[in-house]
Amino acid sequence: MLGSLARHARAAGSDQRGVAAAEFGILVPLLSLMVVSVTDIGLALYRKMQVENAAQAGAQYAIARGFDASGISNAVASATNATNITASPPPVQFCGCPTSAGVSAATCGTVCTGGAQAGTYTTVSARATYYTIIDYQVVAATYTYTAQSTARLQ
């Protein structure tokens, strides 16, 4: 009986059948988590690009049709197929002078340092929240993306 048991133990030690299935069973959860994580990162980056495009669409609307806060907000909301992108904070119109660092606020009609008159600008903001597919416990479960676009109207 002891000899038979030893013989079976030696045979089982050298038997390779089913090893690939056991390894696959161990690795499937890890591979699945990797696929979901990469998909989640891709979807988050896509949402960020949608927010940036929505802010630009609002600025383009203002350039083409003039400043209309509700029209710009609608252009932001309808710029992509995402349903939760909003123009937040609302678009603003202001007078300013272009500088190397952006647009500095100025009184309408004044002369800027470059010699040109202060122009009318609008700043359009877009915001959306992305919720991760699963809760990873080590990173946040939600991300809020914001984008801003400033354009000269006159």
Reading the chain (154 residues) residue by residue, the pLDDT tens digits are 667 777 776 766 666 777 888 888 999 999 999 999 999 999 999 999 999 999 999 999 999 999 999 999 999 999 998 889 999 999 999 999 988 888 999 998 899 988 889 999 999 999 999 999 999 999 999 999 999 999 999 7
Tell me which residue range forms the domain holding 91: 2-152
Q: Using an 8 Å Cβ cutoff, are 119 and 131 in contact?
A: no
* Alpha helix (H) residue ranges in the chain: 2-14, 19-65, 69-77
Query: What sign results for the dihedral spanned by CA atoms 52, 54, 59, 64?
Result: positive
- Dist. CA 111–CA 17, nearest whole Å: 85
Number of domains in the chain: 1
Retrieve residue 63's tokens.
């350039």
CA 154/CA 92 separation, integer angstroms: 15
pTM to 2 decimals? Answer: 0.80
